[in-house]
């Protein structure tokens, strides 16, 4: 990728897309193309095709998606499967038609089977049943991976797919109905501290284990892979370390400085019991995550308290 080439970052207002834009700008890329969802509805094939005809991007990064935590995924499965299939099919097909030099598609660690061996290797894709709470999203993301692989196989398109683990960081979603666990807990502990509440409710049993990657590390990995990866195989991006939700909750309580109790609500779903990626493939290429979990949460919390996000 040359500094004067045209790079379209789809989904630049989201947590991932905005981190990728920051990373590209830092690396000196000047011709970034961005559109809000109001300006360009990526679910419309006609609109996407017209946009590619007008803009002719050299490179495309697909960070646009309908995303959400365990609550949103279970409540709105129809939107999660439809919106995501439409967005990725339109973008990947247009990238093929307009001969984009390279496309990077962002998947997710939830595409892997619910009960696969840990840590999860890339080859476990489609080796078992999916976790039911996010099956709709996972099926859509698997379709996106297959689109990239088959366009590459049939036409030689340079399309790669990356599988990030659970992400967090600035511009995350802190809406308690739809967010993932890490921003939800930052908000719950912060609100409890502000209002002087004596306890915070954490969903599930606290036993499931998750891996968390700071979104700026993900953005760095995506730029690294745009330069250094051409394979038809998917590639995991993570830290290689996980922890139980219980420990995460305690760490966030400490960082926020909340003195009250943590109460577990076992009527809420736990989701998949463990989700830890095997990151040896990307590590062998020469990339490793930099930001320790505590430091990443501290940065995110500082951003949250200073930003004007309100729900």
284 annotated among ligand-binding-site residues: no
Tokens of residue 67, six digits: 């995303």
Given the residues 8, 29, 59, 137, select the one marked as catalytic.
137
Which of these, 288, 286, 274, lies nearest to 238 by C-alpha position? 288
Least distance CB 248 / ligand GDP (angstroms): 8
- Confirm or deny that 107 is annotated as ligand binding: yes
> 185-200 b/e with 16+ CB inside 10 Å = b?
bbbbbbebbeeeeeeb
- Residues 261 and 302 sit within 8 Å (Cβ to Cβ): no
Nearer to ligand GDP, 23 or 300 (CB): 300
Residue 180 CB, nearest distance to ligand GDP (Å)? 3
Q: Where are the alpha helices (DSSP H) in the chain?
A: 15-26, 45-55, 70-75, 77-97, 135-155, 181-195, 215-228, 245-256, 280-285, 293-306
Is 125 annotated in some ligand binding site? no
Q: Single out the residue of 145, 254, 142 nearest to residue 193, CA to CA.
A: 254
Smallest gap from residue 273 Cβ to ligand GDP (A): 9
Find out whether the peptide bond into 119 is cis, omega within 30 degrees of 0: yes
Report, in Å, the least distance between residue 282 CB and ligand GDP. Answer: 20
Q: Which is nearer to ligand GDP, 243 or 285 (CB)?
A: 243
**Given the complex with ligand GDP, which of 73 and 90 has the nearer CB atom?**
73
Show Cβ contacts of residue 37 under 8 Å, excluding neighbours closer than 6 positions: 13, 64
Please tell me whether 17 is known to bind a ligand.
Answer: yes
In whole angstroms, what is the distance from residue 1 CA to residue 32 CA? 12
Q: How far is the CB of 226 from ligand GDP (least distance, A)?
A: 26
Could you list the residues that contact ligand GDP (CB under 6 A)? 69-71, 110, 134, 166, 179-181, 184, 202-204, 208, 210, 245, 268-271
Query: In this complex, which beta carbon is closest to ligand GDP, that of residue 90 or of residue 166?
Result: 166
| Residue 121 DSSP label | P
Q: Which is nearer to ligand GDP, 81 or 94 (CB)?
A: 81
226 is in an annotated binding site: no
Q: Are strands 243-244 and 209-210 parallel, antiparallel or unpaired?
A: antiparallel
DSSP state letter for 27: T
* Active-site residue, 137 included: yes
Closest by CA position to 288, among listed 218, 197, 202, 230: 218
By annotation, the residues acting in catalysis are 137
**Binding-site residues from annotation:** 11-17, 106-109, 141, 164-167, 180, 188, 203, 210, 270
**Binding-site residues from annotation for substrate:** 188, 203, 210, 270
**Binding-site residues from annotation for NADP(+):** 11-17, 106-109, 141, 164-167, 180
């Amino acid at each position: 990728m040359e500094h004067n080439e045209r790079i379209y970052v789809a989904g630049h207002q989201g947590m991932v897309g905005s981190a990728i834009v920051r990373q590209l700008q830092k690396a000196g890329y000047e011709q970034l193309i961005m559109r809000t969802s109001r300006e360009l509805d990526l679910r419309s094939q006609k609109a996407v095709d017209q946009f590619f005809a007008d803009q002719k991007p050299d490179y495309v990064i697909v960070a646009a998606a309908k995303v959400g935590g365990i609550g949103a995924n279970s409540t709105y499965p129809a939107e999660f499967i439809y919106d995501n299939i439409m967005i990725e099919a339109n973008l990947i097909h247009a990238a093929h038609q307009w001969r984009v030099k390279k496309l990077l598609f962002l998947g997710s660690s939830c595409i892997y089977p619910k009960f696969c061996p840990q840590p999860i290797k890339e080859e476990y894709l489609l080796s078992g049943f999916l976790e039911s709470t996010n099956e709709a999203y996972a099926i859509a993301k698997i379709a996106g991976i297959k689109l990239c692989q088959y366009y590459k196989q049939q036409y030689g398109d340079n399309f790669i797919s990356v599988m990030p683990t659970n992400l967090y960081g600035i511009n995350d979603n802190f809406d308690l109905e739809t967010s993932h666990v890490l921003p939800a807990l930052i908000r719950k502990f912060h609100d409890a501290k502000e209002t002087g509440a004596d306890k915070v409710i954490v969903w599930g049993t606290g036993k499931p284990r998750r891996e968390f990657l700071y979104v700026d590390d993900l953005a760095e990995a995506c730029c690294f892979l745009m330069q250094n990866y051409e394979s038809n195989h998917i590639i995991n991006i993570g830290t290689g370390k996980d922890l139980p939700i219980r420990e995460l909750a305690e760490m966030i309580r400490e960082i926020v400085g909340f003195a009250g109790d943590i109460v577990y609500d076992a009527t809420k779903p736990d989701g998949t019991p463990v989700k830890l990626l095997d990151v040896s493939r990307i590590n062998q290429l020469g990339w490793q995550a930099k930001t320790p979990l505590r430091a990443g949460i501290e940065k995110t919390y500082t951003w949250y308290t200073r930003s004007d996000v309100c729900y």
